Chains A and B, each alone.
Chain A
Amino acid sequence: MKVKVVTNILEANDRLAAENRKIFQDLGVYVINLMSGPGAGKTSILEQTIKATNGRMKLGVIEGDIAGDDDARRIESAGAPVVQINTGGACHLDANMIRVVMDDLPLKDIDLLFIENVGNLVCPAEFNVGEEIKVMLLSIAEGHDKPLKYPLMFQESTALVLNKIDLLPYTNADLEKIKRDSLSLNPKLKIFEVSCKTGQGISDWVDWLLALVKK
């Protein structure tokens, strides 16, 4: 006998994500899901952001990695409360992982919480974790073909941060093509050009974050 089910397979994750979002909103925590491929500089931009924010808002970080706690140590040294998730192989964070660790952070004392996803340009875009917005990071050295090769990530993000912009003269990357293709995938995408090494563009990025959190 046939039974109509018609249910979204990710319903359980989406339901948990909605609950997480409600908890964060009730506590006045703005949450950003930060995504990129491995090595684009997610932890570096968080270190720079903590430094440049200089107490103007209180930051917190959930670190997602397959293994290890190197990133959490870096964030701790930079001066923000942090909790590390090890996915033990999973290629992305999901809403339940966030639920399990959220109480380990002093949420009442956090204005802006970054969830640093597992380094991967594919799967993290498909799982909501309870964030307000998604932001993706792409480093110049990854090449200008990435927007059209990994379109979902660009379509789902509110902002694109182009990191390692100081490397532009040393690569064949076509910056205008990256911007053009990204905007064709997502006309509303806000684009930042930064270098975590030289500090270029960091203050514009931080100003944007401050404005988001104030809303």
Chain B
Amino acid sequence: MHEVSIVQGLLDIAIENCKKQGYKGIESIKVKIGKASGVMPDALMFAFEAMKPGTMADKAVLTIVEIPVSGYCNSCCSDFTVDDAYVTECPKCGNISLRIDTGRELNIDEMEVF
């Protein structure tokens, strides 16, 4: 549901940057979405297509790069990366004392303008 408010934020930031730098429009936007961000890529794509008409991003293509959940185990002192959206214990030793480093991203990375 809230993918619409996220796309609104995304469009606001992209269009503001585009205007500020004196370009006419946006060709593409690349976003990085962490797997644990709670955002569904399909829903984000759908909301983007629904909301871009009539804006400077009218013809823009959205590319979504998914970032896996990764972190560090304070117990066995090893780095880990998992496929799941969440990690509750170290995949190597099972300890629950973890530091999560990536996976919560919700960032615009770059865009192409004309």
Contact = CB atoms under 8 A, between A and B. Distances in A.
A125 B6 CA distance: 14
Nearest to B18: A3
Q: Is the interface of B mostly helix, strand, loop or mixed?
A: mixed
Interface residues of A, number: 30
Contacts of B112: 1-3
B86 A151 contact: yes
Interface in B80-111: 86, 88-89, 96-97, 106-111
A2 B110 contact: yes
B53 interface: no
Contact of A184 (B13, B89, B114): B89
A6 B110 contact: yes
A15 to B, nearest CB: 11
Interface residues of B, number: 31
A122 B9 contact: no
20 contacts: A1-B112, A1-B113, A2-B111, A3-B18, A3-B113, A5-B111, A8-B106, A13-B9, A91-B1, A94-B5, A122-B38, A126-B2, A126-B38, A152-B38, A152-B86, A181-B88, A183-B96, A184-B88, A185-B88, A187-B96
Interface of B: 1-2, 5-6, 9-10, 12-14, 17-18, 21, 23, 31, 36-38, 86, 88-89, 96-97, 106-114
Interface of A: 1-13, 90-92, 94, 122-123, 125-127, 148, 151-152, 181, 183-185, 187
